[in-house]
Structure 1
């Protein structure tokens, strides 16, 4: 796990230097220097995990991520999953991944999760799944809320990748740890409220050109509203279901 992880860290740092990407970190001291914690990250694009992982590195830690199991089919990604301690999640039967995550937390590791489960097309916080809260309670570890803002400009849903675009600023804001207390629903609501406040903070100091596709609608951007994004998500799920049904038919 360590050699591959270290190679990835070096590659990520090199990529940020080559492209002139500027990552600013706020509240890194809230990431525990030792011991387990659920690190809850907002999900606006395909590379949110990189700034979050580098934040942990700057704190002297490494983070295990939970990732959808179908990514194992991609040869390179599958190799990385097997050699970096990444936890693949089958969203139709996630009990095994959940158990592995809880075990890792109890062993003192940081486990990165996306409470929204899927990318937010509106770049606002979607409704949260309760997995992060349940894991924290079962493992007896805090939840650390983290907002990554700006990485969605590089690669997100429905838009071309901008991997060669230079000098895109990225902001990472780490909030105070939340104790694993109370009912799951209440803890999940507390987490969402905390991440909402951090998101507002990250957006307040960030450029917001009118009409830009990566700027939320409520801030004058061209991104879908939460309701529009919900309809797009539903259409995407319906199309996937149709393809599965067609693939399962026999003649």
Structure 2
């Protein structure tokens, strides 16, 4: 029996899957539904509420204090939440839907869309909880992109370096870079340690974005920082897609 070849439209879709592909959206909806039905979504709500109670319950809260703390707090929550979501989505019994998709990357795109939607929802929930935040729309509009982009980047890095996408070697190299960054940041710049500052260069766009939330205005370097973070996100997605496709060769 001959196997029928895919139609031209299918081959075109397989070679260049779109983010607005209905299959990716279906995977995203399925991932969020499964995550919510399992009850893990309640953990996100509780963590966001704890962030509010620990840092933003003061009636004298300022916009700079809120956004300055929201970036590291929501980024940490994003890493923890995405670890759970990704581990659930990458279970062996959930590989069965892959056979019905046009490309394997469509499944990963759906997980990424679900993760981004969850990050936006958690940020909006934190804003809803924080009633003491001054109603400064200019500050809100200028600072929100930094909070969202950095938390989304942390979430996507978590996906990219999770199992089964990244290899053990890739994880070790990434963790080694984090150790060198922390070591160079918390150690006096003398002798050999001062040369380790070069490992902090990839974080300069994040630092520029952090300055935006402290000042409430976006300067030239702030726009550059946001643009580079968007580039980081695109590179992370591309690398994760490549690793996932390469990993699939061993799974088929």
Larger Rg: 2
Question: Scaled by the length of structure 2, what TM-score is found?
Answer: 0.29
Question: Scaled by the length of structure 1, what TM-score is found?
Answer: 0.29
